């Protein structure tokens, strides 16, 4: 049977940017920036994207597009005896962990979308917003039900396959996401606290730079760009041979960073206008923002739009995480697409129910002092993604032969340029060394 491919060039970009743009940009980036003091974090983040992010994206793209196979098949066909053969399995494992806690947060978004549509938000005290959020996430079944609903929607898209499922939904949702984001940003920029919000976001205070901030920026870059799991490798296996990899990688990184910055522009002016705390952390979107929406003229509509935005961003990311194991089940274990998608969904549903309940009834169940949700989050983002990214860059830069990498980076007949040489240098030296240094300093 002919292997599926994305049908158009726009489809390639929409799907890849859809994978990258997600809760990482709209939920995690603003709170990480807020907690690390604003502008300086953003500069370090952008340096991580340029020096490590783009080289690792290109490595994943080259391995995927060069073989047109799932990650396990790709590694096996390029270097069957390499000790890095474990990377695809680690990717499958990490993708299931991320999918499990990610769909819990996506479930919270569905609940908040429902509450916004039903006009349940009203002007109450700040404490009431915090209590409502805590009450909801510690509930004994509601968060689990929403996570299961979210994974079922994810299943319905994925079983339709690459072109009719993933490409079509990305082509529709990504432009809509940009439109909603622009409308929300314009609204935020008209608020009285806009200037203060923007200067918090863009004026760097270098005294805030610390090792933990650099680790945070690097972890954020990996999570946000969907790196280290072989997720982009899997998508690239559906690219055609004429797709320009470096250009697609640069567009993906640029749009992903743009969306993260826009999410900051959307959130911080409102935070300063209504006298809230920019350092609120993970509850920024679920506690601070609803309170802001309730005070804003037309807040009901802004709130509905905002949670639709978050829903679109999350579903296009979860389909990409799921495709890692689905392509593995289909190609390595000869399963039908329906079966493979069903199996992935079932496994993740079980894990995500446990994660969802780890704020309430399963809260006492901890490993190394972490609840299951936090354990999955920590293990995947801080350990498995950077390790996977480092292994992928080493595989592309050192294990696979040099001609292969050049043939993927350049078009047929093109000779190496200064830019392509710099890129290969970053893949071979800068990315693995930077990841190793940051990773080790994080463990100390
Ligand atoms: N990049 C996605 C986001 O920013 C999350 C993600 C991580 C998606 C890993 C796929 C793989 O939300």
- Determine whether the shortest distance from the Cβ of 226 to ligand 1 is under 6 A: yes
- Determine whether the shortest distance from the Cβ of 19 to ligand 1 is under 6 A: yes
Task: Tell me the three-class secondary structure of 242-307, residue by residue.
Answer: CCCHHHHHHHHHHHHHHHHHHHHHHHHHHHHHCCCCCCCHHHHHHHHHHHHHHHCCCHHHHHHHHH
* pLDDT tens for each residue of 344-370: 999 999 999 999 999 988 888 888 888
For residue 82 the two structure tokens come to 């390499």
Q: What percent of the chain has pLDDT over 70?
A: 98
Please tell me the distance from the alpha carbon of residue 234 to that of residue 74, in angstroms, as a whole number: 9
The pLDDT, as a whole number, for residue 434 is: 93
Would the pLDDT of 443 be above 80? Answer: no
Residue 411, SS3 per DSSP: coil
Distance of CA 24 from the midpoint of ligand 1 (Å) = 6
For residue 69 the two structure tokens come to 């196979």
Nearest to residue 60, comparing CAs of 256, 194, 196, 228? 228
- Determine whether the shortest distance from the Cβ of 235 to ligand 1 is under 6 A: no
Distance of CA 306 from the midpoint of ligand 1 (Å) = 19
More confident position, 299 or 109: 109
* pLDDT tens for each residue of 155-203: 999 999 998 889 999 999 999 999 999 999 999 999 999 999 999 999 8
The pLDDT, as a whole number, for residue 316 is: 94
Nearest ligand 1 atom, CA 225: 1
The pLDDT, as a whole number, for residue 1 is: 59
8 A C-beta contact, residue 269 and residue 186: no
Please tell me the distance from the alpha carbon of residue 188 to that of residue 185, in angstroms, as a whole number: 5
- The mean of the pLDDT values for the chain is 92
- Determine whether the shortest distance from the Cβ of 222 to ligand 1 is under 6 A: no
Count of residues for the chain? 444
Geometric angle at alpha carbon 267, from 186 and 319, rounded to 5°: 95
The pLDDT, as a whole number, for residue 122 is: 66
Nearest ligand 1 atom, CA 23: 12
Would the pLDDT of 427 be above 90? Answer: yes
| Phi-psi domain of 281 (left: phi exceeds 0; alpha: psi -120 through 50; beta: other) | left
- Determine whether the shortest distance from the Cβ of 245 to ligand 1 is under 6 A: no
Specify the residue with its C-alpha closest to ligand 1, atom 7.
226
The best mutation among 150, 223, 382 to test binding of ligand 1, ranked by most ligand atoms within 8 Å of the C-beta, falls on: 223
Tokens 């993906």 appear where?
252
Specify the residue with its C-alpha closest to ligand 1, atom 6.
226
Distance of CA 219 from the midpoint of ligand 1 (Å) = 11
Question: Please, what sign has the CA dihedral across residues 324, 325, 330, 336?
Answer: negative
Please list the helix, strand and coil fractions of the chain in percent, rounded to the nearest 5, in that order: 80, 0, 20
For residue 193 the two structure tokens come to 């606290």
With residue 434 as reference, give the H or E element that holds it: helix 431-443
The best mutation among 226, 228, 388 to test binding of ligand 1, ranked by most ligand atoms within 8 Å of the C-beta, falls on: 226
Distance of CA 415 from the midpoint of ligand 1 (Å) = 34
Nearest to residue 57, comparing CAs of 317, 408, 319? 408
- Determine whether the shortest distance from the Cβ of 316 to ligand 1 is under 6 A: no
Q: Which segments of 190-237 does DSSP mark as H helices, in order?
A: 194-202, 211-224, 231-236
Please tell me the distance from the alpha carbon of residue 230 to that of residue 88, in angstroms, as a whole number: 7
Q: Which residues pair with 370 in a beta bridge?
A: 367
Nearest to residue 9, comparing CAs of 319, 177, 242? 242
Distance of CA 26 from the midpoint of ligand 1 (Å) = 11
Specify the residue with its C-alpha closest to ligand 1, atom 11.
226
Nearest to residue 143, comparing CAs of 372, 360, 342? 360
* pLDDT tens for each residue of 197-245: 999 999 888 888 888 888 889 889 999 999 999 999 999 999 999 999 9
Q: How many CB atoms lie within 10 A of CB 104?
A: 28
The best mutation among 24, 235, 255, 258 to test binding of ligand 1, ranked by most ligand atoms within 8 Å of the C-beta, falls on: 24
The string over 78-90, giving b where at least 16 C-beta atoms fall within 10 Å of a residue's C-beta and e elsewhere, is beeebebeebbeb
Q: Which residues have C-beta within 8 Å of that of residue 143, sequence separation ≥ 6?
A: 104, 107, 108, 111, 136, 137, 356, 357, 359, 360
Please tell me the distance from the alpha carbon of residue 314 to that of residue 309, in angstroms, as a whole number: 9
- Residue 211 burial (C-beta neighbours within 10 Å; 0-12, 13-18, 19+): exposed
- Determine whether the shortest distance from the Cβ of 352 to ligand 1 is under 6 A: no
* pLDDT tens for each residue of 306-341: 999 999 999 999 999 999 999 999 999 999 999 999
Listing DSSP states for 349-390 in one string gives HHHHHHHHHTTTTTTT-EETTEEHHHHHHIIIIIIIHHHHHH
Please tell me the distance from the alpha carbon of residue 365 to that of residue 373, in angstroms, as a whole number: 11
Please state the rounded mean pLDDT for residues 4-24.
Answer: 93
Nearest to residue 255, comparing CAs of 421, 57, 7? 57
Tokens 């996401």 appear where?
177
The pLDDT, as a whole number, for residue 381 is: 83
Angle between helices 87-117 and 142-158 (to 10 degrees): 120
Nearest ligand 1 atom, CA 25: 4
Nearest ligand 1 atom, CA 224: 4
The pLDDT, as a whole number, for residue 121 is: 64
Would the pLDDT of 424 be above 90? Answer: yes
8 A C-beta contact, residue 321 and residue 155: no
8 A C-beta contact, residue 269 and residue 194: yes
Tokens 């994810």 appear where?
154
- Determine whether the shortest distance from the Cβ of 246 to ligand 1 is under 6 A: no
The best mutation among 320, 344, 379, 387 to test binding of ligand 1, ranked by most ligand atoms within 8 Å of the C-beta, falls on: 320
Distance of CA 221 from the midpoint of ligand 1 (Å) = 10
Question: CA dist 117 to 113, 263, 305, Å?
Answer: 6, 21, 10
Distance of CA 432 from the midpoint of ligand 1 (Å) = 21
The pLDDT, as a whole number, for residue 292 is: 83
* pLDDT tens for each residue of 111-129: 999 999 987 766 677 788 8
> Which one of 60-74, 155-169, 403-417 scores highest in mean pLDDT?
60-74
Please state the rounded mean pLDDT for residues 79-85.
Answer: 94
């Amino acid at each position: 049977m002919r292997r599926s491919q994305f049908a158009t060039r726009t489809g390639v970009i929409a799907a890849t940017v859809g994978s990258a743009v997600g809760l990482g940009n709209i939920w995690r980036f603003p709170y990480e920036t807020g907690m690390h003091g604003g502008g300086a974090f953003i500069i370090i983040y952008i340096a991580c994207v340029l020096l490590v992010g783009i080289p690792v994206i290109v490595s994943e793209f080259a391995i995927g597009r060069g073989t047109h196979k799932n990650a396990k098949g790709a590694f096996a066909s390029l270097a069957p005896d390499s000790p890095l053969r474990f990377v695809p399995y680690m990717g499958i494992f990490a993708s299931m962990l991320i999918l499990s806690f990610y769909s819990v947060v996506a479930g919270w978004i569905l609940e908040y979308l429902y509450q916004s549509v039903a006009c349940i938000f009203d002007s109450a005290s700040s404490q009431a917003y915090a209590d409502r959020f805590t009450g909801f996430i510690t509930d004994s079944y509601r968060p689990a039900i929403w996570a299961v609903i979210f994974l079922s929607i994810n299943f319905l898209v994925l079983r339709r396959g690459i072109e009719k499922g993933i490409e079509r939904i990305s082509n529709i949702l990504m432009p809509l996401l940009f439109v909603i984001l622009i409308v929300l940003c314009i609204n935020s920029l008209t608020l009285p606290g806009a200037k203060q919000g923007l200067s918090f976001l863009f004026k760097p205070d270098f005294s805030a730079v610390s090792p933990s901030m650099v680790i945070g920026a690097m972890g954020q870059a990996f999570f946000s760009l969907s790196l280290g799991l072989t997720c982009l490798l899997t998508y690239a296996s559906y690219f055609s041979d004429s797709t320009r990899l470096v250009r697609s990688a640069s567009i993906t990184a640029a749009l992903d960073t743009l969306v993260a910055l826009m999410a900051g522009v959307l959130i911080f002016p409102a935070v300063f206008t209504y006298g809230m705390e920019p350092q609120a952390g993970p509850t920024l979107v679920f506690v601070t923002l609803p309170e802001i929406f309730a005070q804003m003229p037309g807040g009901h509509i802004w709130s509905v739009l905002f949670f639709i935005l978050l829903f679109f961003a999350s579903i296009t990311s979860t389909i990409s995480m799921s495709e890692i194991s689905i392509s593995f089940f289909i190609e390595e274990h000869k399963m039908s697409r329906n079966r493979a998608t069903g199996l992935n969904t079932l496994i993740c549903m079980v894990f995500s129910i446990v994660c969802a309940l780890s704020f309430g009834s399963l809260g006492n169940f901890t490993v190394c002092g972490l609840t299951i949700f936090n354990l999955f989050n920590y293990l995947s983002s801080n350990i498995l993604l950077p390790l996977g990214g480092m292994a992928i860059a080493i595989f592309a830069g050192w294990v696979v032969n040099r001609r292969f990498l050049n043939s993927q980076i350049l078009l047929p007949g093109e000779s190496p340029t200064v830019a392509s040489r710099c890129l290969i240098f970053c893949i071979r030296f800068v990315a693995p060394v930077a990841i190793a240094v940051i990773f080790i300093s994080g463990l100390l």
